[in-house]
């Protein structure tokens, strides 16, 4: 998940199967469900089939009868159709196949639970786009990109699966999700307790909202994750901003910045320097988010413990080459670990399948997560949270004004007492843990902390380099799921 920065209007710089591939046709409920024996080799090694389900564009009104096709992935090879549960991934802001690829935990435990796996794509992402190419050109066509509509899609899809798959009607459903998908998993359990038995909400910052979490908190966690490697790393990054500002003031300085950082484009004006600093900030944030204990390719191909690798260039006082070349070397761990990058593009934060446009719009409507920095308890340039400015920028970009407090009204903020059966897991290296539920709220609202974990590390597949605390967290998660299922 990316964060929307106040100063940047550049989108994407923010900062956080088959029934033989039944393409473009709604699953027909009157047709007998049938699982082909044919080989189902999936490229990722994860073997699933892709389907499309016809959804209402607007679940909350009657004037608009438009529909769209929602993609979902289904894996039934582990499923016991006589009582086995349905593990349902509540898709977030990107291509569902990419989340499916990166949620190995569900695959790892599917056989033990004899579970049916379903990965449902979020509307306006991947292939599930109401109004297709028109969607992002017209505010009235984008109007249906909300978390409430997405949850209603999941609800209708579950009802449809239960009514059409033989043996599924009584299957208990467990929702899984990471990041925004984790928020959706938790909210899904709260809003549709009739459909979901429990939820595993990994790295779900449901408290990263106005009046609940301090706007500094996120950047403080980023800083602590770097501090864990070395204090010098943090002080060097903190010192770099002033240097960049100095260079940024003149044409000659901006030319040097471009040379030092191997940028694809020239920095023409001081506004480009702001974009450049936003991009650097986003890079540090992303490094902390994906600070995984083994080489992984989530946002970018990276080595194990990328923050450590990055800080190797910054732990001492600046080398004779100077601080900025050291900063460049440090961010090259993120952008050029493979050695293939020809230049660095300040309009790009990664090669992931995240739908940056859609998330930018959501950040400009419901998902307003206040962020700020002070340069003292964090390593960034001081930047105040200014909702007026944020809102003005949103209006320029999308012709909509954000609602600062709606999410808390809709989902309850810290008032979780009426909810049950949710696991909130958080890796403490992950900046988003700042808005996570870090304390158990009741016997069935359980917080699991993973001190050595980054962004939803627990949802990834098991790895020999998994830290002990992660292994323990997964054992606990499995036991909790078993408890819930045993109570059915």
Ligand X SMILES: *[C@@H]1O[C@H](CO)[C@@H](O)[C@H](O)[C@H]1NC(C)=O
Q: Which residues are catalytic?
A: 179, 430, 455
Question: Judged by CB, which is closer to ligand X: 101, or 171?
Answer: 101
Considering only 267, 318, 364, 450, the residue that binds ligand X (CB under 6 A) is 267
Q: Is 351 in the site for ligand X (CB under 6 A)?
A: no
Count the Cβ atoms, other than its own, within 10 Å of residue 106. Answer: 23
Q: What is the nearest approach in angstroms of ligand X to the Cβ of residue 98?
A: 4
SS3 of residue 118 by DSSP? strand
Question: Judged by CB, which is closer to ligand X: 40, or 59?
Answer: 40
Q: Is 98 in the site for ligand X (CB under 6 A)?
A: yes
Q: Is 262 in the site for ligand X (CB under 6 A)?
A: yes
Residue nearest ligand X, Cβ-based? 44
Stretch (H or E) spanning 249: none
Residue numbers 105-164 binding ligand X by CB under 6 A: none
Q: CB–CB of 107/461 below 8 Å?
A: yes
Question: Judged by CB, which is closer to ligand X: 397, or 485?
Answer: 397
Considering only 36, 83, 166, 266, the residue that binds ligand X (CB under 6 A) is 266
Per CB under 6 A, the segment of 18-26, 196-204, 259-267, 313-321 that binds ligand X is 259-267
Considering only 149, 225, 286, 336, the residue that binds ligand X (CB under 6 A) is 336
Question: Judged by CB, which is closer to ligand X: 30, or 388?
Answer: 388
Contact flags string 382-401 toward ligand X, x per CB under 6 A: ----x-xx--x---------
Could you give phi then psi for residue 338, rounded to 5 degrees? Answer: -80, -10
Q: What is the nearest approach in angstroms of ligand X to the Cβ of residue 306?
A: 15
- Cα–Cα distances (Å) from 420 to 174, 198, 373, 479, in that order, read 13, 8, 35, 16
According to DSSP, the residues that pair with 447 across neighbouring strands are 424
| Alpha-carbon gap, residue 86 to 160, rounded angstroms | 13
Question: Judged by CB, which is closer to ligand X: 109, or 299?
Answer: 299
Size of the site for ligand X (CB under 6 A): 24
| Alpha-carbon gap, residue 120 to 223, rounded angstroms | 34
Q: What is the nearest approach in angstroms of ligand X to the Cβ of residue 382?
A: 12
Per CB under 6 A, the segment of 134-142, 331-339, 460-468, 472-480 that binds ligand X is 331-339
Per CB under 6 A, the segment of 18-26, 265-273, 282-290, 477-485 that binds ligand X is 265-273
Q: What is the nearest approach in angstroms of ligand X to the Cβ of residue 242?
A: 21
| Alpha-carbon gap, residue 453 to 296, rounded angstroms | 14
The CB-based long-range contact list for 192-198 (8 Å cut-off, 24+ gap) reads: 192/151, 192/154, 192/155, 193/420, 195/155, 195/158, 195/159, 196/88, 196/158, 197/85, 197/172, 197/173, 197/421, 197/484, 197/485, 197/488, 198/174, 198/421, 198/422, 198/423, 198/480, 198/481, 198/484
Residues in CB range of 277: below 8 A, 6 or more apart = 241, 244, 381
Residues in CB range of 237: below 8 A, 6 or more apart = 226, 284, 314, 327, 379
Considering only 159, 224, 353, 447, the residue that binds ligand X (CB under 6 A) is 353
Per CB under 6 A, the segment of 92-100, 225-233, 371-379, 462-470 that binds ligand X is 92-100
* DSSP letters spanning 401-418: ---SSHHHHHH-TT--TT
According to DSSP, the residues that pair with 71 across neighbouring strands are 52
Question: Judged by CB, which is closer to ligand X: 174, or 372?
Answer: 372
Q: What is the nearest approach in angstroms of ligand X to the Cβ of residue 8?
A: 12
Considering only 97, 106, 145, 302, the residue that binds ligand X (CB under 6 A) is 97
What are the b/e assignments for 18-42, b being 16+ CB within 10 Å?
Answer: ebeebeeeebeeeeebeeeeeebeb
Per CB under 6 A, residues contacting ligand X are 43-44, 95, 97-98, 101, 262, 265-268, 272, 332, 336, 339, 341-344, 353, 386, 388-389, 392
């Amino acid at each position: 998940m990316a964060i929307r920065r106040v100063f940047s209007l550049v989108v994407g710089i923010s900062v956080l199967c088959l029934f033989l591939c039944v393409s473009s046709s709604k699953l027909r409920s009157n047709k007998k469900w049938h699982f082909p024996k044919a080989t189902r080799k999936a490229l990722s090694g994860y073997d699933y089939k892709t389907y499309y389900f016809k959804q209402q564009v607007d679940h909350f009104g009657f004037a608009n009868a438009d529909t769209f096709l929602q993609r979902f992935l289904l894996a039934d090879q582990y499923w016991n159709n006589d009582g086995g549960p349905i593990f349902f991934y509540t898709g977030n802001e990107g291509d569902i196949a990419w989340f499916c690829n990166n949620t190995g935990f569900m695959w790892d435990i599917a056989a033990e639970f004899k579970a049916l796996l379903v990965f449902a794509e979020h509307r306006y992402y991947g292939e599930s786009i109401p109004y297709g190419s028109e969607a992002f050109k017209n505010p009235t066509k984008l109007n249906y990109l909300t978390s409430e509509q997405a949850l209603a899609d999941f609800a209708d899809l579950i009802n449809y699966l239960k009514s059409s798959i033989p043996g599924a009607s009584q299957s208990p459903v467990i929702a899984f999700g990471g990041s925004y998908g984790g928020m959706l998993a938790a909210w899904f359990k709260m809003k549709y307790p009739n459909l979901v038995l429990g939820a595993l909400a990994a790295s779900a910052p449901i408290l990263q909202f106005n009046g609940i979490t301090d706007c500094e908190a996120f950047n403080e966690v980023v800083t602590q994750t770097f501090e864990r490697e070395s204090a010098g790393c943090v002080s060097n990054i903190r010192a770099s901003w002033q240097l960049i500002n100095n260079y940024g003031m003149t044409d000659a300085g901006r030319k040097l910045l471009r040379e030092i950082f191997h940028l694809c484009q020239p920095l023409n004006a001081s506004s480009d320097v702001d974009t450049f600093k936003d991009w650097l900030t986003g890079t540090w944030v992303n490094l902390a988010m994906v600070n995984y204990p083994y080489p992984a390719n989530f946002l970018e191909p990276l080595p194990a413990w990328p923050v450590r690798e990055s800080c190797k260039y910054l732990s001492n006082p600046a080398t004779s080459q100077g601080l900025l070349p050291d900063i460049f070397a440090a961010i090259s761990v993120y952008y050029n670990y493979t050695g293939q990058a020809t230049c660095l593009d300040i309009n790009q934060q990664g090669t992931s399948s995240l739908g940056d446009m859609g998330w930018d719009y959501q950040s400009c409507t419901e998902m307003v997560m206040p962020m700020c920095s002070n340069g003292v308890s964090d390593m960034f340039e001081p930047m105040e949270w200014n909702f007026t400015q944020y809102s003005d920028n949103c209006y320029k970009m999308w012709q909509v004004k954000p609602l600062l407090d709606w999410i808390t009204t809709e989902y309850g903020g810290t008032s979780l007492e009426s909810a049950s059966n949710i696991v909130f897991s958080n890796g403490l290296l992950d900046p988003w843990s700042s808005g996570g539920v870090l304390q158990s709220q009741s016997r069935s609202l359980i917080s699991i902390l993973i001190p050595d974990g980054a962004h939803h590390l627990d949802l990834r597949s098991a790895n020999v380099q998994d830290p002990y605390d992660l292994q323990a967290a997964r054992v606990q998660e499995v036991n909790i799921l078993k408890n819930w299922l045993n109570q059915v």
